[in-house]
Amino acid sequence: MPYRFDSLLGGFALTATIAISVGTLHEGERAATSSLVPCTKEIFPGARDSLTTTLLGRAGRDTIAAGAGVVDRWIAGRFGQSIHGQTVLVDSILGAGADLTRRSLDARQSTEVLIVPWGNNPGCGVALWHHSALWISPDSSGLFSVRLRPESLWVSGRPTFDAFFAVNYSYADGPHTVGPHSVSTGLTEASVDGKGSLTPAEVFSLYSALPAVGHESDSSAIERLRAWVRAHPSVRTRYPGNLILQQWPLDPRR
């Protein structure tokens, strides 16, 4: 079955509380956990689930204090860390909350949203982001698999999203201080075998063609994906399209 983003995040309210045990430890406590096997899940979502928003946009130059949102506020408050997000100018959006986001942006006459990055602990639980909140290089195009916060938790009326496991589930072009290519370069090179990577816009187009969760066995949904792949054949051999499509039973001869 294609990998679902929500299959990892379905219990995130629990893991977010647990994450404090690894994600925000004192230095001495960190040393005691150094032997733990790190979270290495680096797989892109393979289906569109009902909880995730897929957003294509261009990274802004501003960071804004956003608070913990729906994540247990103990993570934010125990050691006094402030939690910031980076502004992103939306080009395209689909999935959960897409209509609400569009209506809000239209009303504000703006395309700017706020995306708050989160890290993960060695057990793949939600943890604080320990890098710069300017986590995607300004003006870089990026694709983000995110969760829309309730409107009551938006920052200054701006649609506000949480990017859980931000490095794993975001994809951007250009140079990055911290971002998907800074940790996935080896995987990228091994996957594409010199054939190059997809642009964020191409990955968004692929996502728009993926069947939704609950329709994994829908022959018409799979045939639409086959038709899209026939029209974009290079996606099979370019990262991360090769990883996403290998989760689907697509006969290359069809």
pLDDT at position 245, please?
A: 87
Which neighbouring-strand residues pair with 186?
none
- Alpha carbons 84 and 114: distance in angstroms, whole number: 9
Tell me the average pLDDT across 138-158. Answer: 94
pLDDT at position 58, please?
A: 96
Decide which of 30 and 245 is more confident.
245
Q: Nearest 5 degrees, angle CA 232-CA 234-CA 237?
A: 140
Tell me the average pLDDT across 84-108. Answer: 96
pLDDT at position 41, please?
A: 55
Residue type, 240: P
- Residue 169: pLDDT band by 50, 70, 90 thresholds? confident
Percent of the chain scoring above 90 in pLDDT: 39
CA dihedral 157, 163, 166, 171 (to 10 degrees): -80
pLDDT at position 254, please?
A: 53
- Residue 125: pLDDT band by 50, 70, 90 thresholds? confident
Report the chain's mean pLDDT, rounded to a whole number.
76
Tell me the average pLDDT across 59-80. Answer: 78
pLDDT at position 107, please?
A: 97
Cα–Cα distance list, 198 to 86, 142, 204, 217 (Å) = 23, 11, 10, 27
Q: DSSP 3-state assignment of 30?
A: helix
- Alpha carbons 235 and 221: distance in angstroms, whole number: 18
The model's pTM: 0.80
Least confident of 1-10, 15-24, 47-56, 219-228: 15-24
Q: Please name which of 254, 251, 245 lies closest in space to residue 2, comparing C-alpha atoms.
A: 245
47 pLDDT higher than 90: no
pLDDT at position 11, please?
A: 42
Q: What is the pLDDT of residues 203-224, one digit of tens each?
A: 999 999 998 877 677 888 889 9
